[in-house]
Amino acid sequence: MSKFVTRFLKDESGATAIEYGLIAALVAVVLVTALTAVGTNLQNLFQTVATDLIPKG
């Protein structure tokens, strides 16, 4: 039983998986934030183009 506990405490593979999960979550948050900002700017650009293309008069 003592060997099992010692081996369990020295095993770091679970910690590595958690670190990769945290990194993936951080990347996802950054991507969502960046794409939201780009989408808003792109929407404004298309709205400007559409407004300029509508004939006045």
pLDDT of residue 31: 97
Q: What is the DSSP secondary-structure string of 1-45?
A: -HHHHHHHHH--HHHHHHHHHHHHHHHHHHHHHHHHHHHHHHHHH
pLDDT of residue 22: 94
Radius of gyration of the chain (CA): 25
At 33, list the tokens. 């934030």
Decide if pLDDT at 56 tops 90. Answer: no
Q: How far is CA 3 from CA 10, 16, 19, in A?
A: 11, 22, 26
pLDDT tens-digit profile of 12-52?
777 788 889 999 999 999 999 999 999 999 999 999 999 99
Which amino acid, residue 3?
A: K
